[in-house]
Amino acid sequence: MVVLLKESFDKEQSINKKRRKIEPFDDSSTMLFNPVQQYFGDCMVAPDFNCACDFTESACKDLMLINNHIQSFQSLYTIPLAMSTDTERSHLEFINSTLGFTPSFPLVCDQTHSVSRHFNIIQSNHDTNRAVFIIDKTRRIRFSFVIEDDRISHSMNTICSILQTF
């Protein structure tokens, strides 16, 4: 998920606001800050559904690509957010074991599949397709694409080019 802010972007303020209260190995942890609700009135939002689950090669590649392009997103006043259907606990285990780095953007859980269902990206086996949706502040989808082949990576340059048009 990517958030395009209309006004200047304060990296420190963003980092402080996206911190969450996380109880170790507690599936009932609550998010103290919801980045989408905080900025929705003044932004573009583009969810980046990386995959149906963490611990996959495509998830690692996608998250690394987003992380490597963080300065490009910030220059567009954009905050990337990544979403999967895994739990918060699974995200933490993924970051601490398989991923090898801590992303400089939030990972969002769609454990109930409600967002995935809304965007119609659930496959017949209940996995989700990898996709990007760019949604404007009026909640209208401005651009979307789905990647069904895990061998293909998201093109961050394409996403940045699209964001520049708004």
Whether the per-residue pLDDT at 144 is higher than 80: the answer is yes
Query: Is the pTM higher than 0.85?
Result: no
Cα-flanking dihedrals φ and ψ of residue 124, to 5°? -65, -25
Averaged pLDDT, 22-49: 47
- The pLDDT score that the predictor gives to residue 74 is 80
Rounded distance between C-alpha atoms, residue 35 and residue 67, angstroms: 17
- The pLDDT score that the predictor gives to residue 21 is 40
- The pLDDT score that the predictor gives to residue 43 is 54
Q: Tens of pLDDT along 77-134?
A: 777 778 888 888 888 888 888 888 888 888 888 888 888 888 888 877 777 778 887 7
CB proximity list for 79: less than 8 A, separation 6 or greater:
2, 3, 5, 9, 14, 18, 35, 39, 73, 105
- Fold (CATH) for 45-164: Glutaredoxin (3.40.30)
| Residue (of 45, 50, 48, 24) closest to 35 by Cα position | 45
Ranges of each domain in the chain: 45-164
What per-residue string of b and e applies to 37-47 under the rule 16 or more CB within 10 Å gives b?
eebeeebbbbb
What the block records as the tokens of 54 is 């963490």
Its sign, for the CA torsion 141, 157, 1, 153, is positive
